[in-house]
Amino acid sequence: MSALPACPSCGSGFTYEDGAMLVCPECGHEWSADAAPASAEDERVIRDANGTVLADGDTVTVIKDLKVKGSSLVVKVGTKVKNIRLVDGDHDIDCKIDGIGAMKLKSEFVRKV
């Protein structure tokens, strides 16, 4: 039995062949069996707390007071952060905050302006 690839839409492992197409029974997605699978870099989408897609250079607002580790500083609610840069890892935003300096933020604590 040949190993069929997982569904590119929902990740289900229950795909089956239907002629020249592969079909996912869970979400109904159909794709060509000879299509090249998308790389992880193509699928990487970072969203803010409201589900809006973020991009490099966006301006965001902090939606929760965030304590800065190793210091007594706090990033207050409503702090506007300009010119963000998206990176890989647990904290997916690199930025500079006025009065604090270089920071890494999680996208779940910001909202796109």
Q: What integer pLDDT is reported at residue 10 of this predicted model?
A: 84
Q: What integer pLDDT is reported at residue 1 of this predicted model?
A: 45
| Residue with tokens 């197409």, as numbered in its chain | 21
Q: What integer pLDDT is reported at residue 106 of this predicted model?
A: 95
Q: What integer pLDDT is reported at residue 62 of this predicted model?
A: 97
Q: What integer pLDDT is reported at residue 33 of this predicted model?
A: 74
Give the global pTM: 0.62
Taking 70 as the pLDDT cut, the residues of the chain under it are 1-2, 35-43
CA distance 100 to 102: 7
Structure confidence by residue, pLDDT tens digits, 44-61: 799 999 999 999 999 999
| Residue with tokens 């193509």, as numbered in its chain | 42
